[in-house]
Amino acid sequence: MYEALFYTQEDKGLRCTLCSHHCLIASGRRGLCAVRENQGGKLYSLVYGKVAAEAVDPVEKKPLYHFMPGSRTWSIATQGCNFRCGHCQNFSLSQLTKAQLPAGRQRSPQEVVAMAQAAGCASISYTYSEPTIFFEFAEDCALAAKEKGLANIFVSNGYMSELAVERAAGSGKWLDAANIDIKAFSEQFYREICGAKLAPVLETVQRLHALGVWLEITTLIIPGLNDSEGEIQDLAAFIAGISPDIPWHLSAFHPAYKLTDAPRTPPATLLRAREIGLSAGLHYVYLGNVQLPGANDTICPGCGAVCISRQGGQTRIPQSADLRCPVCRKKLAGMGVVKQLW
């Protein structure tokens, strides 16, 4: 166990201030995430160092298409999550009950960094479940990674508290990039499907961008739940209002976990959603979980040339190390040095 960073004492228990649920946790009880427990008037993380999943991934798998494109990232996760999404694709990892003890291989931050280096990774991604709930371990890994020249990535639902965002990206400055999953643009969807609220997620996106974290957004389009043109237009306008250079990844849904009665997302729905995103002024809109020609290519917003080609898990990048269009030399949005060249 490891004492938590974010909590305050109250008359009826401990108030966890790590995420936007702000759970009030009585003695001997856990928060909604099931991995933070009040023991004797102190709040502890039950997952510090308990790595339940670890693997080498292309950074594009996160997905991050404009952060160190072509590079590899060392991905780690613990068990637990602060959402209860009915369509979770990693439910065996994320949906821990309060009666279960978290499992995982015991790793030190130094071991995680050494494994990332040995695998030839340029970054460490805190992913698969929800990195917010293993914040203390992620921070220690991230600081050790920085010492070795590795970048740090969160793949998150965006439910971090303002305190956590500030520590990671403000005063701490150890978080370099994030893909935030904006699951819908509806409070009803968040309440009924995720057990959460939309507004805190939008606030996190705004804060991370303001603090200089490279940001990309993912939205899983679920027929009948978040696929109306009006909702997609509103979400596209929100992202474009922060910056037209934020990449937006629109992914196809397939039945999973408890949400098995919704159909798969038709390709036509994704294509229309991309049109809406581009019409809203976004420069980079991608389609995931579907095989469509050019769906994941990076197109120059200046001249329309294909700058980065992606197909079948392969990323093809022109001979340029500065993320510029190979035709008109316009600077593309992004961060990090290109790692894989034609």
pLDDT tens for 270-321 read 999 999 999 999 999 999 999 899 999 999 999 999 999 998 778 888 665 5
Dihedral of CA 120/320/154/135: which sign? positive
Mark whether 204 and 272 lie in a shared domain: yes
pLDDT band at 254 (very low <50, low <70, confident <90, very high): very high
Q: Is residue 341 part of a domain?
A: no
pLDDT at 86 over 80: yes
Residue-number span of the structural domain to which 147 is assigned: 50-296
Mark whether 32 and 98 lie in a shared domain: no
Q: Is residue 321 part of a domain?
A: no
Give the domain CATH number at 243. 3.20.20.70
Looking at residue 319, what is its pLDDT?
Answer: 60
Mark whether 62 and 33 lie in a shared domain: no
d(C-alpha 73, C-alpha 122), whole Å: 6
Q: Is residue 292 part of a domain?
A: yes
pLDDT band at 4 (very low <50, low <70, confident <90, very high): very high
Query: In this structure, how many other beta carbons lie within 10 angstroms of the beta carbon of residue 129?
Result: 31
- Between strands 177-181 and 151-156, the pairing is parallel
pLDDT at 340 over 70: no
Mark whether 54 and 32 lie in a shared domain: no
- Rounded to an integer, the average pLDDT of 4-13 is 97
Mark whether 81 and 189 lie in a shared domain: yes
Q: 65 - beta bridge partners? A: none
Residue position matching structure tokens 């928060």: 31
Q: Specify whether the CB–CB gap between 37 and 77 falls below 8 A.
A: no
Mark whether 31 and 133 lie in a shared domain: no
pLDDT at 341 over 50: no
Looking at residue 92, what is its pLDDT?
Answer: 87
pLDDT band at 63 (very low <50, low <70, confident <90, very high): very high
